[in-house]
A and B are shown apart, each in its own frame.
Chain A
Amino acid sequence: GEDVEQSLFLSVREGDSSVINCTYTDSSSTYLYWYKQEPGAGLQLLTYIFSNMDMKQDQRLTVLLNKKDKHLSLRIADTQTGDSAIYFCAEADSGGYQKVTFGTGTKLQVIP
């Protein structure tokens, strides 16, 4: 089946840029997503990219997609302590019912 891989942990200093990486195996992915989960809460959609795009920017967030290498990244500029959370990469394939496969999540720690 489909697989989505992420590193488990990332630590950055406040004000630096954070880059969270993700690789996936499904070559028929249609949409790829980044979700944020704060402690004790559900997942919140941050942004998504359609598979025929290679970049999307939304304020401090930049998503880069390398479809050939099946690699997705999320860059957070000027990282703040409020960005500390778990970030999930996810992909939707072209099959039925819009099932989404999630990665294991990357815990971002921002050091003041």
Chain B
Amino acid sequence: DVKVTQSSRYLVKRTGEKVFLECVQDMDHENMFWYRQDPGLGLRLIYFSYDVKMKEKGDIPEGYSVSREKKERFSLILESASTNQTSMYLCASSSENHSYEQYFGPGTRLTVT
């Protein structure tokens, strides 16, 4: 079974803090993704990575950065957290060698106060 884990289920941070969200997958997938999910807006892609050290901006990259130093790990960084970044953050991974379906972690509910 594919397993995608995220470092925290719930996180509370203060405005201006630097926040790290970690994601690890155990299926040797090439592609990894970070989304945020907000009511009525569905999932919006923040960044994705198709290889180690490679990254591409998604639809809403502003205020975020990412790091992929190892194939299994993809980190999302909020350089200076703001209240409008309060959201559910979902990590996913997919393989190049299948029907591209994405496997999701359980999500991190981030609250910025």
Contact = CB atoms under 8 A, between A and B. Distances in A.
Interface of A: 1, 8, 30-31, 33, 35, 40-45, 48, 50, 88, 92, 96-100, 102-105
Nearest to B94: A98
14 contacts: A40-B107, A41-B106, A42-B92, A43-B43, A44-B104, A45-B101, A45-B102, A45-B103, A50-B99, A96-B50, A97-B48, A99-B48, A100-B100, A104-B40
Given A50-B99, A97-B48, A97-B50, A105 B104 contact: no
Given A31-B100, A48-B99, 10 more contacts: A41-B107, A43-B104, A45-B103, A48-B101, A97-B31, A97-B50, A97-B56, A98-B94, A99-B48, A100-B102
Interface of B: 4, 31, 35, 40-43, 45, 48, 50, 56, 58-59, 90, 92, 94, 96, 99-107
Contacts of A33: 101
A35 B42 CA distance: 12
A92 B90 contact: no
A56 B30 CA distance: 28
Nearest to B107: A42
Nearest to A45: B101
Given A43-B90, A102-B43, A104-B41, A92 B104 contact: no
Given A42-B90, A43-B90, A102 B101 contact: no
A92 B101 CA distance: 9
Given A42-B107, A48-B99, A98-B94, A103 B42 contact: yes
Nearest to B35: A102
A108 B101 CA distance: 22
A58 to B, nearest CB: 14
- Which 4 residue pairs spanning A and B have beta carbons closest together? A42-B104, A104-B42, A98-B100, A102-B43
A102 B105 contact: no
B64 to A, nearest CB: 17
B101 A31 contact: yes
A55 to B, nearest CB: 17
A42 to B, nearest CB: 4
